[in-house]
Structure 1
């Protein structure tokens, strides 16, 4: 690659790159580079190294398990409303997608790929009778390319058409083929968290003693300096191994720490901020990463609602749309797959029972439907019918109220016209 500047231009450019120059951006990289710190020494971020950061591991585990635990069923629209589909399709969707994995294990693996590398893939095995199985695919061993404007997935030397592949990316690149993953997007924040982990582990591995400098008249000769350094190191090691708080220092010398102590360097606050940054990358409220520093009773409950409405609901919709398209095709109009998010909003026992009572009394659910939600056996008969309180009737038809036409005045007899009052009939 040809250097874009001539030598004179490059020399002039290097002369003006000074921290005194207000036109030079003082970013983290340029600022550290000015003091001779090379940002390339920061740890390299991979999926495995990112999962060594507790906040990343907690986010991936929490999201993947939550999505895997959501009830998932297949339905068919009928004239009486949606009905669950039974048979092989329900078994594949709800029970076990294949012979080796149940539904939770399969979906947990699928979502782990989405929330780490950024893409979940699965192959639909079809039989003449319909869908036979769904098998997970390793995204790192799958090549995706576009052939004649259609996506083709190559896995283990075999090509698969897009209509047989469940493909859910975290975020697509402009080409529509490649993708962004959350770990790549948050790599700088994860890199900083890794660097602080390394610094903290090295710091406390040394007994909490930062690098030290021996201050005083320097010994004559290089060998004498090495002997003095070795004497000090032996004294420190002996003090650490014997748990002694005092060790000797040669007369006329003084030990001074070099570098920052974690408290003064605000490392504790910085590490807490990294939890917020990683939560932000996953769009998670920090309370779900066990960061309760800003949590209260009320806002923690609101974060729970935010989590279901603005995160789990969105990913559920994306997964349902992909399954419906690939399992049933574009022309399908009466079969669909859907999550049940009610389980995430169950609340405490009293609130749940109050909600059930309201649903039954207003003919929203039958008593048997409520019993099924609580994993109780159904009773049948009247319990399988929609019910409503007896006091709820159409306006104007309450018991004991005269009809509207009864309020008209009763005509009276006119003797001048020959009208004779009618005698009341005997009882």
Structure 2
């Protein structure tokens, strides 16, 4: 490769819509905090939101179905795609693969996996790639290619049909997803700055529980002050001394110190940061253990909203992209991927039983189908006779 081709290659990358996403993996916020996916995930609310969405998505079974000529459908567990969804590669289960890919999209805006096919052209494996190691380039023909840099620095070019690509919301004319963490850089920078401020404050011990005062006419030596401090700690610090009655000599007096307005604002700011993060990822605060606005009745409704409004986007993304990218044009007419959403009821036996009962009563399910969903063997019907 000559020098001119390198320059042309660089210009083509610079004009690519994903170039800014590549070089700006993190940025300095106005608060002075550097914000990237790794720094953002160190915020407990961000970690909680990403975990709630990625784990819930991965835990739901993702099946391949075949459409029959009579309009019915049936599970196609023997299809190569179904096998890869169960075991995408030699070192990951289907659950681990989908959880990691979903978390990658939530944190970076994109997730990539190299597609392997056997000699017959059938899908055989999916190998995830680090998002920072992939550059998406649009060719003059309008097609996209993916340049992947391995751990040794070697760059290999993959065509669009060789890469499984999941993306968050994209700009018009681009296939590269926008990182929510980069969009909300300033809000997350404030959360990081507040955490650093709090850690620094507690490290310096700037929140005393009280102060010991002495009469103005009483002067103590350094040795006496040290002795008073040691006696106080020995009698009043530690769980075993909780509730003990303080005894003060020499006219000393103890005055408790209450949190001031600045302290209360700091606590309120931390709660506001949790709400901001939940707003970024569209996750109810109760899902990240913020129960300040939760009640017995609305927690159930918030959980239902999480499924309908938060989780549904990611489930639909997987179903659409698996069918579009991993099935050929002809196969897509007969096969499709779909989540078994009844898996959400697995941890709620009462709700699951009510769901099945209403389905059987309405006539769109029968007892045999319910037993299959519950992994129970078919019921054996015996007939009496002589």
Q: Would you say same fold, with TM above 0.5?
A: yes
- Higher mean C-alpha displacement, 165-174 vs 46-55: 165-174
The answer to whether 1:61 aligns with 2:51 is yes
Deviation of 1:76 after TM superposition, in Å, equals 0.8
Determine the structure 2 residue equivalent to 1:77: 67
The answer to whether 1:155 aligns with 2:153 is no
Instruction: Trace 1:76-155 onto structure 2 (pairs within 5 A).
Output: 76-80=66-70, 81-87=72-78, 88-93=80-85, 95-127=86-118, 128=120, 130-147=122-139, 148-155=141-148
Larger relative contact order (CA 8 Å, sep ≥ 6): 2
The structure-2 alpha-carbon separation of the partners of 1:334 and 1:208, relative to structure 1 and needing over 3 Å to count, comes to same
One of 17, 38, 44 as aligned partner of 1:48: 38
The structure-2 alpha-carbon separation of the partners of 1:347 and 1:99, relative to structure 1 and needing over 3 Å to count, comes to closer
State the SS of the aligned residue for 2:190.
Answer: helix
In structure 1, runs of 5+ residues without a counterpart are 1-38, 211-230, 246-256, 383-427
Distance 1:41 1:110 in 2: 30
Distance 1:115 1:207 in 2: 37
- Higher mean C-alpha displacement, 310-319 vs 99-108: 310-319
The structure-2 alpha-carbon separation of the partners of 1:241 and 1:184, relative to structure 1 and needing over 3 Å to count, comes to farther
Question: Any conservation in 2 of the 1:153–1:159 contact (CA below 8 Å)?
Answer: yes
Question: Any conservation in 1 of the 2:116–2:123 contact (CA below 8 Å)?
Answer: yes
The answer to whether 1:299 aligns with 2:290 is no
| Number of residue pairs aligned between Structure 1 and Structure 2 | 308
State the SS of the aligned residue for 1:342.
Answer: helix
The structure-2 alpha-carbon separation of the partners of 1:286 and 1:322, relative to structure 1 and needing over 3 Å to count, comes to same
Deviation of 1:134 after TM superposition, in Å, equals 1.3
Distance 2:82 2:51 in 1: 26
Distance 2:354 2:41 in 1: 42
The structure-2 alpha-carbon separation of the partners of 1:343 and 1:177, relative to structure 1 and needing over 3 Å to count, comes to closer
Distance 1:293 1:159 in 2: 50
Determine the structure 1 residue equivalent to 2:287: 288
Distance 2:279 2:302 in 1: 13
Determine the structure 2 residue equivalent to 1:191: 189
The structure-2 alpha-carbon separation of the partners of 1:129 and 1:368, relative to structure 1 and needing over 3 Å to count, comes to farther
In structure 2, runs of 5+ residues without a counterpart are 1-28, 150-154, 209-220, 237-256
Moved over 6 A (4+): none
Determine the structure 2 residue equivalent to 1:358: 358
Distance 2:31 2:147 in 1: 36
The answer to whether 1:311 aligns with 2:301 is no
Determine the structure 1 residue equivalent to 2:254: none
Distance 2:132 2:368 in 1: 47
Distance 1:241 1:283 in 2: 53
State the SS of the aligned residue for 1:180.
Answer: coil
Deviation of 1:381 after TM superposition, in Å, equals 5.9
Distance 1:204 1:272 in 2: 18
- For residues 281-307 of structure 1, the C-alpha deviation after alignment (integer angstroms, 9 at most, x for no partner) is 001111111111111222212211211
The structure-2 alpha-carbon separation of the partners of 1:272 and 1:153, relative to structure 1 and needing over 3 Å to count, comes to same
Question: Any conservation in 2 of the 1:185–1:281 contact (CA below 8 Å)?
Answer: no
| TM-score, length-scaled by structure 2 | 0.72
Larger radius of gyration: 1
The structure-2 alpha-carbon separation of the partners of 1:150 and 1:266, relative to structure 1 and needing over 3 Å to count, comes to same
- For residues 97-152 of structure 1, the C-alpha deviation after alignment (integer angstroms, 9 at most, x for no partner) is 11111101111110111111111111221121511111111111011000120010
Question: Any conservation in 2 of the 1:164–1:326 contact (CA below 8 Å)?
Answer: no
Query: What is the alpha-carbon root mean square deviation over aligned residues?
Result: 2.9
Distance 1:205 1:275 in 2: 23
State the SS of the aligned residue for 1:179.
Answer: coil
| TM-score, length-scaled by structure 1 | 0.66
Please state which structure has a larger fraction of its residues in helix: 2
Distance 1:44 1:151 in 2: 31
State the SS of the aligned residue for 2:198.
Answer: helix
